[in-house]
A and B are shown apart, each in its own frame.
Chain A
């Protein structure tokens, strides 16, 4: 046996990663990996995988890729949550000990925010934004694929950490000095910094891409004040991403330098300032919570309008409050660390700015309610999530205002009250919004509805499970239980509440299983939707067939009003009924490219080398990255022509071409 093999085994699989759960995970990964490999091999699907998915630059397919990753990551983050809750329900047995508990709550937070919520949001952006604004694609299709592959390989890098080398364990925020190499040796935290840096590049590119798409590529006649509300929230989200991610990149990059190259930006020694990391992280972190909740607001605005059969109430106020939230989101970040002791004037300023955000958010809540007022409401699954969202988010917002009261925050800080609050807004706002969007736009993405009956069951599991989980956590916080505890003495009166909370978590887990079965069942047995408009929709994406052809619009529509498709239906002139053969012209579409995948792979290899400080591998990965960029810069063969005849045949086959 060569001498480097024991070294490799010791480095890649330290004792930490040889516990039963990790070995079980290793086994599952090997089995499922082998299963996928033999499936692709047996059915000769490799070429299909490469040409249809890995090299695609079509925003609709990229949306599917994002969605699959997001659901997979929801599974991983959800399993993490169940492990945490099990440990807290059994404080004397502790199925996972203190060390693993730290790792699991770290990956739970990191994965749920960066690798579940973000890709889920980008799935919805990619699926509908170009369709809603009457465009054939996003502004930079190849960069869109680059975004996805950077996200995917960043997520992969974080996810392999728990079986290869060891998980990060300093919380999803990664504060120094907990992340310093002196106090936290091993590759875990380097994995965290490297994977978030890689995924962060992809996210920034997505922000730029959708901002430019919405500014430049709207159909003729679609002025800013005729944009659907989801487009407004996408626009503001993209603007938030562009300004919020650079501080995160700086904070993560400097931390990585501290760990790997011995610099002292955030160290306690040599004049570093750990609190500067906290400041930079939340400079990103607060806009981030609006990055994940604004798209949900957009989804709810579309859903409530469609299923109430009414135009959105107070459209102008809704648009303005979205913009107001975007600006205010930049001015509240200190409320994540009031107890740092920055001084009364700083805390007072940020306490007030935090409370100020309640005003535009309240405007939105009232407008959604007034949209339903007097409407003919259809209780679809998407609408159920909207109805559950309103009371849930109002209570989450109210506890947020309690946390913004600075003297009270000194009591609530880092307690389960805080944990319950942010889960209340993140699940009640973001997750319910994403679920609502999933059920609403699924027929547009795949051409059939998800089964509504099973969807209702999943909804009730999520909604009831949510309240059973988090109501006890508010009480636990008031009784003094702090966050990130792996165990507690039984005499404190916390045990019963923790058991109830754990039961709730398992109800939500059951909801997830029903959701997955719902997707599987609907894929097999649901009828095809031939109309393209199963919900009697109001915006332009419903004017297209489902699933949408590669070129989206055979002819770019002209928009005369808000709710463009609704107005078209009222006037009896839809896109299908007015398309004549001579309207169809040859189109120029982006050509598939393997560059984004190779680029992501280069980042992955380089990142892996950086994590283990194996410099030849890091440099090799870096060379792949530079090579892909240089190749892409000189690759002028990046578009293809689609003849008018092909489009005519496609449209005629869908019964959308008038003779």
Chain B
């Protein structure tokens, strides 16, 4: 761990002045503890949601709220731990398409909700 940190610092030092923002930021642990813990936590979140629903543990509205919170936690975990969100070669370019992805995803979900309301003047 300390070795890899040392490497990062030295690579940043060797950058030309003014170009520090281009320094690569990569995780380089000797053993992927972060990923293993992330995997365990993602399983915990999944099975927590499943058990809550199977056992009808709460009132439906509360249940929905809780599993949505669990889902958001899951999404954050996946992005942060497995999707290299914190790593980059230079500026974090990946945030731009990610923002677009969120825009499209929530747009589609929102419009789907609107469609499935069946606010119809016909039927």
Q: Which of A's residues lie within 8 Å of B, judged by CB? A: 243, 247, 273, 275-276, 279-280, 283, 330-331, 334, 341-346
Tell me the B80-123 residues at the A interface (CB within 8 Å).
101, 104-105, 107-108, 111-112, 114-123
Bound-complex Cα distance A503 to B113 (A): 46
| Cβ–Cβ contact A243 & B121, under 8 A | no
Question: Which residues of the partner chain B approach A276 to less than 8 Å between Cβ atoms?
Answer: 116
In the complex, chain B residues whose CB is within 8 Å of the CB of A341: 118, 120, 122-123
- Asked if A273 contacts B116 (CB within 8 A), the reply is yes
29 residue pairs bridging A and B, Cβ less than 8 Å apart: A243-B104, A243-B105, A273-B116, A275-B116, A276-B116, A279-B116, A280-B112, A283-B108, A330-B104, A330-B108, A334-B115, A341-B118, A341-B120, A341-B122, A342-B115, A342-B116, A342-B117, A342-B118, A342-B120, A343-B117, A343-B118, A343-B120, A343-B121, A343-B122, A344-B120, A344-B121, A344-B122, A345-B119, A346-B115
Chain B: residues with Cβ within 8 Å of the partner, total of 17
The residues of A that contact B122 with a CB separation of less than 8 Å are: 341, 343-344
Task: Please name all residues of chain A whose beta carbon is closer than 8 Å to the beta carbon of B118 when the two chains form the complex.
Answer: 341-343
- Are B112 and A279 closer than 8 Å at their CB atoms? yes
A447 shortest CB reach to chain B, Å: 39
Q: Are A279 and B101 in contact (CB under 8 A)?
A: no
Residues of the B chain whose Cβ atoms lie less than 8 Å from the Cβ of A334: 115
B: residues with CB less than 8 A from A are 101, 104-105, 107-108, 111-112, 114-123
Most chain A CB inside 10 Å of its own CB: which residue of B111, B115, B118, B123 = B115
List the B residue with the shortest CB-CB distance to A346: B115
Given A341-B120, A341-B122, A341-B123, the answer on whether A346 and B108 have CB atoms closer than 8 Å is: no
**What is the minimal beta-carbon distance from A634 to any residue of chain B, in angstroms?**
12
* Contact residues in A for B105 (Cβ distance below 8 Å): 243
- Of listed B105, B116, B123, residue having the most chain A CB within 10 A: B116
Chain B residues within 8 Å of A343, by CB: 117-122
| B115 in contact with A247 (CB, 8 Å) | no
- Contact residues in A for B107 (Cβ distance below 8 Å): 330
* Interchain CA distance A413-B53 in the complex, whole Å: 39
How far does the alpha carbon of A344 sit from the alpha carbon of B123 in the complex, in Å?
A: 11
Query: Could you tell me if A283 and B112 are in contact, using CB atoms closer than 8 angstroms?
Result: yes
| Distance between A116 CB and nearest chain B CB, rounded to angstroms | 28
- Assembly CA distance A164 to B42 (angstroms): 38
A275 to B112 Cα, complex, angstroms: 11
Tell whether, in the assembled complex, residue B115 and residue A279 are in contact, meaning their CB atoms are under 8 Å apart.
yes
Cβ-closest chain A residue relative to B120: A343
Give the Cβ gap from A156 to chain B, nearest Cβ, in Å. 31
Chain A contacts for B115, CB-based, 8 A: 279, 334, 342, 346
Contact B120 A247 (CB under 8 A): no
A-B CB proximity, top 6 nearest: A343-B120, A343-B119, A341-B123, A341-B120, A342-B115, A341-B122
